[in-house]
Structure 1
Amino acid sequence: MSDIKFGTDGWRAIIAADFTFDNVANVAQATGQWLIKTYGDRPKVVIGHDCRFHGRRFQLHVARVLASMGCNVLMGNGFTSTPAVSLAVLKNHFNLGVVITASHNPPEYSGYKLKADFGGPATPAQIDAVEHELTQLSALTLRVTHELMEEGLIQEADLQSAYLDHVRTVLDIPAIQASGLKIVYDAMFGAGRGTVSALLGDGVTELRHEENPGFLGQAPEPIEKNLNGLSRAILDEKADLGLATDGDADRIGLYDEQGCFVDSHKILCLLAKYLYEERGLRGDIVKTFSTTTMLDKIGAAYGLTVHTTKIGFKYIGEMIVSGDVLVGGEESGGMAVKGHIPERDGVFIGLLVAEMMVKRGKKLSELVAELFEQFGPHYHSRNDLHTHKKDAALAHLASGAVKEVNRKSITAIANLDGVKVFTEDGWLMYRGSGTEPVLRVYSEATSPELADEIVAAGVAIVEAL
């Protein structure tokens, strides 16, 4: 068995190299052992899969292993988004969800996500416990799949339709439909395919909704450089809003009516403002270490507590479950809000922004301008630098040896997850990848040009080592 490790969002590996049926069976068996130790002899599990190569076969294989161990398994009867699996776990009072997905990774990858009984990402402690069980595997006799189905240990259900029904109860879908809002939705060949049209009907233009497990060779990550077609389609269709989601539909990319990208920092701030001012909701704000300081200003203005966590939505999910959270999210496009599941959900967040536009009677660009007028302009830049100096760079910045960034003196240093330094212009942050020779260089400043300059200065510091 190859070395299997769960990262910030599950186990991912290249199909047929490390993501094999044998390795998937081992992870499933470890999952089953942990479930039985935690919940007793008949734990209940929901299993879904995204649109990647062999997703259905891997789903069936996991179901066979778990059912052979005595688990009751409910499978999605087609491709299923991660939010739909998490919702099914919560609504049906199941013990765990498993999603066969590599999220936004390139098409040659697949993966295995765990969803806890509260309807969100498994906690770090739960993931560690499953990883430990990988060292405790013993021989397991697998039963025949169709016999397990005949006995009812493996059942199927339409999890996507149940998810859509839930969304209709939480969002004002009739108001969005009646507004005549035109939306372009880019599913990036992922598991969100068909959801927005199913909810809104006419007025939705679909991009990349075909079945294509190769994703035309592009990773289904809803970031600006991957969404040029969406930006053009908004202008061509004279649309009001552009929405994109990743491979398992839990991350969001958003565009305004001018075809301009609206990053996750701004989306989180818009959500906090809307939920507080328009919906009258209260609660804490939770953000990861690389997310905008505008959320701190919003918290101060509204009297809301702001928490900063390590990077990874699992840390946010823990706080949502244990506390009272209004909005939580990260700069990579994953966010959750009060009144929905404690899980990232790109489709839901996109339609909540559509509802916001309708209720406020404003274009998305106008809502962003209003945000900047109230809390000041905040812009961000990022460079994923391929370098073997990442550890040296992190140590160098943390040591205090760097005195200034972009000709401005450093006034403070923080190292919750990576290293962040502050100047009067904003902040610069380094964070190393756990799997690649990559150093992520982030910045925040009061203009896009200044944000780019700060990142360039951060790259120059690394290259000078």
Structure 2
Amino acid sequence: MARIKFGTGGWRAIIGDEFTRANVRLLCGALAQRIKEEGHAERGIVIGYDRRFLSDVSAHWAAEVFAGEGIACQIIKIAQAPTPLIMWTVKDRKLPYGMAITASHNPALYNGIKVFTAGGKDADEDVTHDVERRMETLEGDGEERIGLIDYDKAVKSGKVREINPFNGYIDSIINQVDMEAIRKADLKIALDPMFGVSRTSLQTILMTARCEVEVIHDRHDTLFGGRIPSPTSATLDTLKRYVVDNDCALGIATDGDADRLGVIDDKGNFLHPNQLLVILYYYLLKYKGWRGPVVRNVATTSLLDHVAEMFGEKCYEVPVGFKWISGKMLETDAIIGGESSGGLTVRGHISGKDGIYAAALLVEMIAVVGKSLSQIYDEITGQFPPHYMAEMDFKFDSERKPEILDTLMVRKEIPEFSATVVDTSYRDGAKIYFDNGWIIARFSGTEPLLRIFCEMPTREEAERACIEFREFLGL
């Protein structure tokens, strides 16, 4: 078995353990093989990186391999390169491949690699399985044959080109957002990049629209201030207080590589990504007059289904992993797609997650609708039955994973829930449908965790079902 395996969000590993120079080169050597066999060596690949420890150095390690293998290579040479900027560059320059050196929202001791394909899409399973197979073949003696050219020599010879596509990316968002409406709204926005890479992009867009922008947590800190760079209710306490204390229209937070979004409303409340998806889908349908379905994963709110039904549209459910969302969006011409972990994309932009574009669209919505974010959400939810989401993550001894998998996915045993079970699905984890909600248990594709999500009419019912599942599995 290959020593590197791709998860739902690329390859991520602990620095110095599995994330090493040798493994970065192995992965790039395998991908270089694929690129050459497809006849794409002259068009090649673009590489960008975030602010994590070793990200810039690892980008050089990757470029050295592609240069040594005769693959045209471009490096995005700016201090803050959001992952969506890299994906946009793949699409804009019509490149066959792209790569981000990032571990996204994982803890600081992780780093990793995301691979993108033509159009700026997340690499699908056909690509990642092929790269894994090639890595397995190269492991050992084959690694010595992977080409290498020193980075500085590669740049000097033109085999590696350093580029800056920042302006084009920013302009692409500005051209899709109603900047005039935002200018007239005179909004104050609080921004928390979580020590990641979104500040320059978001600040540029919002200040161009004459917003007053206040920024916190923007210095370069590879430890992310001692917190996980994931915008959740638990990690955004400072932003909540800042929004309220400074009378901001909203607070915007992005994860480490800026493909995920977290939002604090005008009252200092954290808006769950499920809520953001509902708000934006409703806004695109009602206020912008768009038409089309929505795509969500198995762990994302079914309130999207109700919104779609209200407007005569359809909601499609897919497995976890944004490649499934972007693929289904292309297939169905959906106008928005997203997941409960904070990633979303909108038709007409890139196929992958973009927290920066999503944030700009939220600001536009407040300006166009002329109401606060909390008022807009109340307007929407007042038309539907209540939906409450509970989420619980559990660590476990690695030896227990086969046992839990056997229970859930082979023997398909489930707890005696308090709620009435009406159906089950094993498409991605074990999902149980109740007569008034649902619950799912699945292994994380990026961290060693079992995740349980439950949506019910009340928070108490949702939390009770999660506890019943946890106790059944002995976690």
Q: Give TM class, smaller chain.
A: over 0.9
Corresponding residue number in structure 1 for 2:171: 165
Corresponding residue number in structure 2 for 1:119: 120
TM-score, with structure 2 as normaliser: 0.92
Structure 1 residue 175 displacement after superposition: 2.2
Distance 1:330 1:252 in 2: 11
**Cα deviation digits, residues 49-82 of structure 1 (max 9, x gap):** 0001122111112112102211111111123111
Corresponding residue number in structure 1 for 2:181: 175
Corresponding residue number in structure 2 for 1:441: 452
Secondary structure, aligned partner of 1:369: helix
Q: What is the identity, as a one-letter code, of the residue corresponding to 2:245?
A: D
Distance 2:370 2:279 in 1: 14
Contact 2:47 2:73 in 1 (8 A): yes
Contact 1:177 1:200 in 2 (8 A): no
Secondary structure, aligned partner of 1:142: coil
Corresponding residue number in structure 1 for 2:49: 49
Contact 2:66 2:147 in 1 (8 A): no
The farther-off stretch of 200-209 and 448-457 is: 448-457
Secondary structure, aligned partner of 1:184: strand
Q: What is the identity, as a one-letter code, of the residue corresponding to 2:105?
A: H
- Residue among 410, 416, 419 paired with 1:408: 419
- Residue among 148, 151, 162 paired with 2:157: 151
Distance 2:26 2:10 in 1: 15
Q: Structure 1 pair 446/147, CA: closer, same or farther in 2 (3 Å)?
A: same
The farther-off stretch of 415-424 and 140-149 is: 140-149
Contact 1:390 1:438 in 2 (8 A): no
Asked if residue 365 in structure 1 is aligned to residue 374 in structure 2, the reply is yes
**Cα deviation digits, residues 292-333 of structure 1 (max 9, x gap):** 111111222222232111111111122233441111111111
Distance 1:308 1:163 in 2: 30
Asked if residue 337 in structure 1 is aligned to residue 343 in structure 2, the reply is no
Asked if residue 424 in structure 1 is aligned to residue 435 in structure 2, the reply is yes
Q: What is the identity, as a one-letter code, of the residue corresponding to 2:21?
A: F
Corresponding residue number in structure 1 for 2:199: 193
Corresponding residue number in structure 2 for 1:211: 220
**Structure 1 segment 386-397 matched on structure 2, within 5 A:** 386-388=395-397, 392=403, 396=407
Q: What is the identity, as a one-letter code, of the residue corresponding to 1:25?
A: R
Corresponding residue number in structure 1 for 2:310: 301
Structure 1 residue 425 displacement after superposition: 3.7
TM-score, with structure 1 as normaliser: 0.94
Contact 2:3 2:136 in 1 (8 A): no
Contact 1:394 1:430 in 2 (8 A): no
Corresponding residue number in structure 2 for 1:133: 134
- Residue among 277, 295, 300 paired with 1:291: 300
Q: Structure 1 pair 129/164, CA: closer, same or farther in 2 (3 Å)?
A: same
Contact 2:205 2:360 in 1 (8 A): no
Q: What is the identity, as a one-letter code, of the residue corresponding to 1:115?
A: F
Corresponding residue number in structure 2 for 1:86: 87
Q: Structure 1 pair 3/390, CA: closer, same or farther in 2 (3 Å)?
A: closer
**Cα deviation digits, residues 100-136 of structure 1 (max 9, x gap):** 0000011111111001111121111111111122133
Distance 1:420 1:383 in 2: 15
- Residue among 235, 242, 260 paired with 2:269: 260
- Residue among 286, 289, 296 paired with 1:277: 286
Structure 1 residue 159 displacement after superposition: 2.8
Distance 2:119 2:446 in 1: 29
Secondary structure, aligned partner of 1:226: coil
Structure 1 residue 261 displacement after superposition: 0.9
Corresponding residue number in structure 2 for 1:458: 469
Q: Structure 1 pair 219/262, CA: closer, same or farther in 2 (3 Å)?
A: same
Corresponding residue number in structure 2 for 1:31: 31
Contact 2:9 2:445 in 1 (8 A): no
Distance 1:402 1:70 in 2: 53
Secondary structure, aligned partner of 1:375: coil
Structure 1 residue 402 displacement after superposition: 4.6
Q: Structure 1 pair 385/135, CA: closer, same or farther in 2 (3 Å)?
A: closer
> Structure 1 stretches of 5 or more lacking a match?
none
Q: What is the identity, as a one-letter code, of the residue corresponding to 1:303?
A: G
Contact 2:155 2:162 in 1 (8 A): no
Distance 1:85 1:126 in 2: 18
Contact 2:8 2:446 in 1 (8 A): no
Corresponding residue number in structure 2 for 1:96: 97
Structure 1 residue 44 displacement after superposition: 2.0
Corresponding residue number in structure 2 for 1:324: 333
Contact 2:12 2:446 in 1 (8 A): no
Q: Structure 1 pair 435/271, CA: closer, same or farther in 2 (3 Å)?
A: closer
Corresponding residue number in structure 2 for 1:107: 108
Structure 1 residue 88 displacement after superposition: 0.5
The farther-off stretch of 363-372 and 386-395 is: 386-395
Structure 1 residue 287 displacement after superposition: 0.8
Q: What is the identity, as a one-letter code, of the residue corresponding to 2:472?
A: I
Structure 1 residue 147 displacement after superposition: 3.0
Distance 1:119 1:2 in 2: 26
Distance 1:394 1:367 in 2: 42
Structure 1 residue 413 displacement after superposition: 1.5
Structure 1 residue 274 displacement after superposition: 1.1
> Structure 2 stretches of 5 or more lacking a match?
none
RMSD in angstroms over aligned alpha carbons?
2.1
Secondary structure, aligned partner of 1:387: coil
Asked if residue 234 in structure 1 is aligned to residue 234 in structure 2, the reply is no
Structure 1 residue 85 displacement after superposition: 0.3
